[in-house]
Structure 1
């Protein structure tokens, strides 16, 4: 097949996206597909795809444009099939506020949260409500941009006096800030792949210093991983079940990763989902595939078969 890998872009996750895209390109080449990289930050994507029209696009864009439905809607317009979740479902999954609403309605446990919109701070005096957020959520808490990935703009807040600064940091990446209860426990990732989203082994994430932020995710040696995760049989089963329910509730396709915290009582809490998980050397999904005896090429083949089945 002729496959254009869309990677790079102009988001803060550009470098990670390019690393993912190049690894996917090599793997697709091993599968004897004709694969090439298209970076929307370097070329006009629509014109480039018209000049060299692929059979389908592999979406390796991370962050806004790649995961929020933007590129998906454009490819729908061009009538070019693509890997991954459909446009509307990307919009919901990428927006942490909408995703958490959908998860809660599906009965998936997710930490309590409140939302502060940027326009509410500017035009409605919303800053005076931050104290109410602390009352409802408690401390410590986690502050995240509603629409961002790779832990960009995320802060951990232990003192109420630090909350405004954390909210402003989150708003520099998105129009709304999510203030979420901090659940103490083990951070894990559950990947699902293929046409029926078969589960891969659960990965446990243990940063060597501090928290699992952008640097810890993409700096080799900064984080220790255990795959399969060091969980009880019951906790592992619950993680797999909630991950599958989350993927079904959000209508995810082909390849996804669900991030969770397993608390001290072995109860999993879904934090967020990722419709375009990283495929770099330190990324969790290839790590999970390897633990199951699958190469990156095997994983890519599974994603392609799932995509082609829809064409």
Structure 2
């Protein structure tokens, strides 16, 4: 019996419910015994009262992507999809991720971390800056700072979600994403967001955002991006499936943005899109994640 864990109490709850429904339908279509479980943050006792031997985690954001639910399942020796609790925790924290990637000589934009209870650190790289919470996904709480006078307001927004905010050099360029499935990089997708940058609305509610697959890069460049994504994924000790996001600037310099260990599985989501380009249907994708 498979428990499809969805919902959660993070800012990404709405997307998680949609992802979970899609996964649930795919499992049922393939005659796999399963049930949906909407975790709301304090009803785990209800989950443990049910009989199941594996969890398909489609909980996005805090609680589901930061190692919390993974650790709870590990404590009960219940297998689950995705990365383990330690890797999930590290991947969810953008500052930790950047530290590990820097140690592995991976391409990054310069950044500093600002704590809500401490003075703002010295910023030695030029404007514009991206300011974002270290523990949120889906571009929630992100601001573009083009003038120093905007920094306090941007930090205040980020600190609503987390006491630590990442201040990072804003890289102008084209956005790409590489999905990872069972230690293999899927075809690269180029993201063209008409809103200026790929924010929450562009990801989940806009029909104007374009997803290009094939991505338009020469084959050698696409393979290079895929190899960096796999290096970044393995450096974090991530496993099973996930997604690594990039920006390539006008000089063709590559910058890693972030890693997602429980990416979206909605109609707008990128992992299913990349899988389809590889000839993998949504139902097959769900089985591949489940059976790794």
TM-score range, shorter chain: over 0.9
2:89 alignment counterpart:
91
Q: Deviations over 1:157-185 (max 9, x none)?
A: 11111011101111111120100111121
In the alignment, structure 1 residue 170 sits paired with structure 2 residue 168: no
Cα deviation for residue 259 of structure 1 reads 0.5
Decide whether aligned partners of structure 1 residues 287 and 19 sit closer, same or farther in structure 2, where only a CA change above 3 A counts. Answer: same
Q: Deviations over 1:264-307 (max 9, x none)?
A: 2222211100010000000111111111121111111111121x
1:309 alignment counterpart:
none
Instruction: Find the aligned partners of 1:252 and 1:268 in 2 and give their Cα distance.
Output: 21
Contact 1:157 1:166 in 2 (8 A): yes
Q: Which residue of the other structure, out of 239, 245, 267, is the alignment partner of 1:281?
A: 267
User: Could you say what the CA RMSD is over the residues aligned between the two structures, in angstroms?
Assistant: 1.3
Where is the helix percentage greater, Structure 1 or Structure 2? 1
1:177-256 matches, cutoff 5 A = 177-194=165-182, 197-256=183-242
1:39 alignment counterpart:
38
Q: Deviations over 1:205-238 (max 9, x none)?
A: 0012222110000014130110121213332122
Q: TM-score, normalised by structure 1?
A: 0.91
Q: SS of the residue aligned with 1:90?
A: helix
Decide whether aligned partners of structure 1 residues 165 and 203 sit closer, same or farther in structure 2, where only a CA change above 3 A counts. Answer: same
Instruction: Find the aligned partners of 1:25 and 1:222 in 2 and give their Cα distance.
Output: 28
Q: Which residue of the other structure, out of 71, 74, 79, is the alignment partner of 2:72?
A: 74
Q: SS of the residue aligned with 2:139?
A: coil
Q: How many residues align?
A: 292
2:25 alignment counterpart:
26
Instruction: Find the aligned partners of 1:25 and 1:89 in 2 and give their Cα distance.
Output: 25
Unaligned runs of 5+ in 1: 121-125, 307-311
Cα deviation for residue 190 of structure 1 reads 0.2
Unaligned runs of 5+ in 2: none
Contact 1:84 1:255 in 2 (8 A): yes
Moved over 6 A (4+): none
Q: Deviations over 1:96-148 (max 9, x none)?
A: 0000000111111111101101121xxxxx04x4xx32xx1210111110110
